[in-house]
Chains A and B, each alone.
Chain A
Amino acid sequence: MSTTTPTSAATSAPTSSGRSRTRTVHLGSFGRQTVAGLRMLLVMTVLVGVLYPAVVWAVGQAAFRDQASGSLVRRDGVVVGSSLLGQQWTGPQWFHSRPSVSEYAGDTSGGSNLTATDPRLLREVAQRRAALGAGGASAPADALTASASGLDPHISPEYAAAQVFRVARARGLTTEQVRRLVTDHTQRRTLGYLGMPRVDVLELNLALDAAARR
Chain B
Amino acid sequence: MGTTLSGLLTIATVVLVLAVAHVPLGDAMARVFTGERHLRVESAVYRLCGVSPSSEQRWSTYALSVAGFSAVSIVGLFALIRFQGSLPLARGAAMDTDTAVNTAVSFATNTNWQSYVGEVGASPVVQTLGLAVQNFVSAAVGLAIAVALIRGLTRNASTTLGNFWVDLTRSVVRILLPLAAIGAIVLLAGGVVQDLTAPEVVHGLSGVDQTVQSGLIASQEAIKELGTNGGGYLNANSAHPLENPNAVTNLVQVVLMLVIPFSLPRTYGVLVGDRRQGQAVLAFMATLWVAMLAVITWAETAAATGPLGAMEGKEVRFGVWGSTLFAHTTTATSTGAVNSLHESYSPLGGGGVLFNMMLGEVSPGGVGAGLYGALVVAILAVFVAGLMVGRTPEIVGKTVGRREITLVALVTVTTPALVLLGTGAALALGTARAGLLGTGPHGLTEMLYAFTSASNNNGSAFAGLTADQPYLNLTLAACMLLGRFVPILLILALAGSLAAQRRRPATDGAMPTHTPLFAGLMVGVAVLVTGLTFLPVLALGPLAEALS
Contacts and interface: CB of A to CB of B under 8 A. Distances in A.
A pairs with B: yes
Interface of A: 1-4, 6-8, 10-11, 13, 26, 29-30, 32-41, 43-45, 47-50, 52-53, 55-57, 59-60, 63-64, 67-72, 75, 78-82, 84-90, 94, 98, 104-116, 118, 121, 125, 140-142, 144-156, 189-190, 192-196, 198, 202, 205-206, 209
A52 B316 contact: no
Contacts of B181: 52, 55-56
Interface string B210-249: 1111101011100100000000001110011110011110
B54 A4 contact: yes
Given A6-B160, A52-B177, A67 B189 contact: yes
A174 B412 CA distance: 67
Contacts of B155: 3
B117 A108 contact: yes
A69 to B, nearest CB: 5
A78 B200 CA distance: 13
B132 A53 contact: yes
A142 B323 CA distance: 14
The 5 A-B residue pairs whose C-beta atoms are closest, nearest first, are A195-B247, A141-B309, A33-B68, A113-B464, A148-B239
Interface residues of B, number: 134
A98 to B, nearest CB: 7
A80 B202 contact: yes
B136 A44 contact: yes
Contacts of B316: 98, 142, 147, 152, 154-156, 196, 198
B485 interface: no
B1 A189 contact: yes
A34 B67 CA distance: 8
Given A26-B60, A141-B309, A194-B247, A37 B68 contact: yes
B211 A114 contact: no
A195 B318 contact: yes
Interface stretch (B338-346, B369-377, B473-481, B507-515): B338-346
Contacts of A90: 206
Interface in B190-219: 190-197, 199-200, 202-206, 208, 210-214, 216, 218-219
B505 interface: no
A60 B120 CA distance: 25
Contacts of B220: 53
Contacts of B191: 67, 71, 84
Contacts of B51: 36, 40
Given A6-B160, A44-B133, A192-B1, A147 B239 contact: yes
Given A67-B189, A70-B214, A116-B306, A148 B314 contact: yes
Contacts of B41: 47
Given A70-B200, A141-B308, A196 B241 contact: no
A3 B56 contact: yes
B56 A106 contact: no
B69 A37 contact: yes
Given A48-B136, A115-B442, A195-B246, A1 B33 contact: yes
B235 A110 contact: yes
Contacts of A4: 54, 56
Given A108-B117, A114-B437, A149-B239, A67 B48 contact: no
Given A30-B67, A33-B67, A148-B236, A196 B318 contact: yes
A135 B64 CA distance: 66
Interface string B137-175: 100000000000001000100111010010011001100
13 contacts: A38-B72, A40-B49, A43-B48, A69-B193, A70-B195, A70-B212, A87-B205, A88-B206, A109-B239, A111-B312, A114-B312, A189-B247, A192-B1
Interface string B234-273: 1110011110011110110000000000000000000000
A13 B159 contact: yes
B210 A67 contact: no
A40 B165 contact: yes
B518 interface: no
Interface string B402-436: 00000000000000000000000000000000000
Contacts of B1: 189, 192-193
B317 A150 contact: no
A108 to B, nearest CB: 5
Nearest to A63: B189
Contacts of B159: 6, 13
B313 A147 contact: yes
A145 to B, nearest CB: 4
Interface stretch (B4-12, B16-24, B281-289, B521-529): B4-12
Contacts of A107: 119-120, 199, 211
B162 A1 contact: yes
B541 to A, nearest CB: 13
Given A33-B61, A190-B248, 11 more contacts: A29-B64, A33-B65, A36-B51, A37-B72, A47-B172, A107-B120, A142-B311, A148-B315, A196-B318, A198-B317, A205-B205
Given A37-B69, A115-B438, A141-B308, A79 B200 contact: yes
A106 B76 CA distance: 31
B129 A45 contact: yes
B202 A82 contact: yes
Contacts of B203: 78-80
A89 B67 CA distance: 53
Interface string B95-135: 00000000000000000000001011000000011101100
Contact of A113 (B55, B188, B315, B462): B462
A147 B315 contact: yes
A30 B236 CA distance: 39
A44 B172 contact: yes
B213 A189 contact: no
B397 interface: no
Nearest to B154: A1
Contact of B309 (A7, A113, A142): A142
B210 A85 contact: yes
Interface string B37-67: 0000100010011111011111011001101
